[in-house]
């Protein structure tokens, strides 16, 4: 099974990886890898959130092999995103709408969740049920509609995930957090407007 490049294993990996490298949210077969931000969640953490009246809901996005591909084009806008299949059920859309209506914040756990939420968002930010493929590639300049906060891990330079995080937090902030990596000469163009 593929592991992110920052998880080092001897050739062939460890048989325990199939269980250890899995989130507590996993329900449906289809992803080639676990969405790693979700690896931080445990039943005890979910219980602690519930005790503080912090709710959560789930969606499905089958992480595809394209997640591991670096952007190799000179202009990232020319990079072809591989499609990933996802589903955001009506009950999840309704729960998000109720949270927003009550003045709550929407926190995406991971770039995978964020991409599907943005794919399901209407222009006014309303999250609609969604089932199908998404090829959404989020670059700086993207107007986020679906979320208020992102919980994520570090991402490799020139990856679509690094560019997504830079779009949300700002490239200069991300560069400062990474302490001189990527090199100061790195830049990403903004998203093309339709």
Ranges of the chain with pLDDT below 50: 180-185, 188-194
The number of residues in the chain equals: 194
For residues 120 and 123, what is the distance between their CA atoms, to the nearest angstrom? 10
Task: Give yes or no for a cis peptide into 59 (omega within 30° of 0).
Answer: no
Quick check: helix, strand or coil at residue 51? helix
pTM of the model: 0.81
Q: What is the pLDDT of residues 164-188, one digit of tens each?
A: 999 999 888 877 776 544 444 455 4
Beta bridge partners, 84, equal 134
> What is the three-class DSSP state of 4?
coil
Q: Per residue in 38-47, pLDDT tens?
A: 778 889 999 9
Asked whether the CA dihedral 99, 144, 21, 44 is positive or negative, the reply is negative
Dig out the tokens for 25 from the structure. Answer: 């949210």
- In CATH terms, the fold of domain 17-177 is QueA-like (3.40.1780)
């Amino acid at each position: 099974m593929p592991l992110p490049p920052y998880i080092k294993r001897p050739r062939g990996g460890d048989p325990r990886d199939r269980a250890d490298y899995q989130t507590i949210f996993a329900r449906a077969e289809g992803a080639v890898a676990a969405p790693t931000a979700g690896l931080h969640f445990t039943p005890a953490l979910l219980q602690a959130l519930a005790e503080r009246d912090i709710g959560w809901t789930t969606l499905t996005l089958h992480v595809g092999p394209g997640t591991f591909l670096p952007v190799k084009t000179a202009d990232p806008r020319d990079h072809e995103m591989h499609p990933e299949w996802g589903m955001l059920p009506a009950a999840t859309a309704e729960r998000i709408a109720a949270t927003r209506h009550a003045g709550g914040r929407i926190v995406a756990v991971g770039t995978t969740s964020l991409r599907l939420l943005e794919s399901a968002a209407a222009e006014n930010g309303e999250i609609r049920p969604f089932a199908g493929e998404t090829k959404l590639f989020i670059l700086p300049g993207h107007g986020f509609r679906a979320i208020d906060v992102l919980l994520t891990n570090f991402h490799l330079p020139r990856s679509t995930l690094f560019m997504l995080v830079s779009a949300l937090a700002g490239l200069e902030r991300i560069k400062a957090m990474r302490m001189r990596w990527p090199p100061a000469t790195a830049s990403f163009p903004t998203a093309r407007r339709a």
